[in-house]
């Protein structure tokens, strides 16, 4: 009988990181602008445009000379601002909905906190950003930028703010480096072969009733940053500690990913692509499906006729069991690629004919007629 095996592999990729697109302003302009990038550690930055994002939100808090830090002002107003590029293909600047100008005093400054969210955004104060009980839906994308502290002007290329951060035509603005707050997963499948010419055999392989679960889809992310001394001007900060989600423990906040049935080919392709998920521990999360295999035999001239055999094999694979480098948890700003490899067996059906023993010979006495 033919056997089929599934070989499994997982690949964790840190999503590509940012080659900055900067935000220039007209020469000697006092208007506020932004230079933005989608930044991921260990690699270079990419622009938001390259990541398919054409706007983000920002709240700004201003310390005005003579007013005091205890009365930090909502520079963009209580609701903040939406920042957009002047061109969605090759921007030369990113700016608010209308012009804002830098404070006049050399002792005044502004702190900027930026984010991107396809759903409800965070609560933001001067030095904190919090997504509380955020439900993660299909296609959601959440990003947060490093804090920009004590800015008094737009940075430009001559400031050498961060090596490798500047690129293309955006050359001036508040440095705004984003990080993905979610994880992303992709599941692929392929068959090592689907046909054989001698004898003439072909296989049809499908994955049906696919399910990945139970995945937590609700959590809280709290970011806190320590403000530097007032003398540290035009400074890109970082968030304290290592940002991490606190996932819900309620069964009601767990659900399944259920991709459509998938016909496997000899080329690895995704049956679930670019799925955003809440970073979380993977204990107890399984990939389950039915491996539906049909083996087709062509008729042989002068021999057997055509035949077809069908199997449906129920399969459960723990996500922690995908290869030697399978993660035990999904992390922020990381994409995980899981691959199923279906291998038709080379064990051909053969026969071993034999007779139990040689004939026992009984010679019967002659009968005279």
Q: Are residues 272 and 314 in the same domain?
A: yes
Determine, yes or no, domain membership for 362. no
> Is 234 inside a domain boundary?
no
The bridge status of strand 262-263 relative to strand 148-151 is: unpaired
Asked if residue 330 lies in contact with residue 336, where contact means CB atoms within 8 angstroms, the answer is: yes
Give strand pairing partners of 356.
none
Residue 18 has pLDDT above 60, yes or no: no
| Whether the predicted pLDDT of 345 surpasses 80 | no
The helix/strand/coil state of 118 is coil
Kindly state whether residues 296 and 211 are assigned to the same domain. yes
Indicate if 196 and 117 belong to the same structural domain.
no
DSSP class of residue 292?
E
Looking at the fold, whether 70 and 121 belong to one and the same domain comes out as yes
Assign 34 a pLDDT band (cuts: 50, 70, 90): confident
Q: Which of 91-95, 210-214, 268-272, 338-342 has the lowest mean pLDDT?
A: 91-95
Is residue 163 domain-shared with residue 25, that is, in the same domain?
A: yes
User: Is 112 found in the same domain as 83?
Assistant: yes
CATH number, position 99: 2.60.40
- The per-residue pLDDT for range 244-286, each reduced to its tens digit, is 999 999 999 999 999 999 999 999 999 999 999 999 999 999 9
* Residue 260 CB neighbour total at 10 angstroms: 9
Nearest to 22 by CA among 1, 57, 46: 46
Residues 232-255, mean pLDDT to the nearest whole number: 94
Domain hosting 48: range is: 16-182
Q: Is the peptide bond before 199 cis (omega within 30 degrees of 0)?
A: yes
Under 8 Å between Cβ of 69 and 110: no
The answer on 264 and 138 residing in a single domain is no
Asked if the model's pLDDT at residue 2 lies above 80, the reply is no
Q: What's residue 348's pLDDT? A: 67
> Does one domain contain both 133 and 175?
yes
The pLDDT mean for the chain works out to 84
Is residue 105 located within the same domain as residue 25? Answer: yes
User: How much is the pLDDT for 27?
Assistant: 36
> How far apart, in whole angstroms, are the C-alpha atoms of residue 317 and residue 323?
11
What 8-state DSSP symbol labels residue 67? Answer: T
Assess whether 189 and 156 both reside in one domain: no
In the listed set 155, 182, 209, which residue is the last one of a domain according to the structure? 182
State pLDDT tens for residues 280-301.
999 999 999 999 999 988 887 6
End-to-end CA distance of the chain: 57
Same structural domain, 194 and 59: no
Same domain (yes/no): 52, 140: yes
The total domain count for the chain is 2
């Amino acid at each position: 009988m033919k056997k089929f095996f599934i070989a499994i592999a997982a690949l964790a990729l840190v999503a590509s990181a940012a080659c900055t697109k900067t935000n220039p302003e007209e020469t000697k302009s006092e208007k506020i602008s932004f230079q933005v990038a989608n930044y991921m550690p260990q690699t270079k930055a990419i622009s938001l445009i390259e990541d398919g994002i054409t706007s983000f939100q920002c709240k700004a808090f201003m310390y005005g000379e003579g007013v005091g830090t205890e009365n930090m002002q909502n520079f963009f107003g209580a609701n903040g601002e939406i920042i957009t590029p002047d061109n969605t293909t090759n921007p030369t600047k990113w700016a608010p909905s209308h012009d804002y100008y830098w404070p006049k005093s050399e002792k005044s400054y502004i702190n900027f906190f930026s984010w991107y969210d396809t759903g409800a955004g965070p609560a933001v104060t001067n030095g904190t950003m919090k997504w509380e009980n955020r439900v993660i839906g299909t296609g959601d994308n959440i990003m947060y930028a490093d804090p920009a502290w004590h800015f008094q002007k737009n940075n430009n290329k001559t400031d050498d703010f961060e090596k490798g951060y500047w690129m293309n035509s955006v050359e001036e603005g508040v440095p705004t480096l984003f990080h993905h707050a979610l994880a992303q997963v992709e599941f692929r499948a392929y068959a090592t072969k689907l046909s054989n010419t001698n004898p003439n055999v072909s296989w049809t392989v499908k994955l049906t009733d696919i399910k990945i679960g139970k995945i937590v889809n609700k959590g809280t992310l709290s970011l806190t940053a320590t403000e530097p001394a007032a003398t540290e001007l035009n400074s890109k900060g970082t968030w304290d500690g290592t940002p991490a989600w606190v996932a819900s423990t309620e069964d009601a906040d767990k659900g399944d990913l259920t991709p459509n049935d998938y016909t496997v080919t000899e080329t690895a392709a995704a049956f679930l692509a670019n799925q955003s998920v809440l970073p979380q521990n993977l204990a107890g999360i399984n990939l389950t499906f039915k491996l539906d295999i049909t083996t087709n035999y062509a008729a042989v001239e002068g021999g057997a006729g055509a035949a077809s055999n069908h199997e449906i094999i129920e399969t459960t694979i723990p996500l922690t069991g995908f290869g030697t480098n399978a993660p035990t948890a999904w992390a922020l700003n990381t994409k995980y690629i899981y691959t199923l490899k279906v291998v038709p067996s080379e064990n051909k059906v053969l026969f071993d004919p034999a007779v139990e023993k040689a004939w026992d010979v009984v010679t019967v006495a002659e009968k005279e007629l």
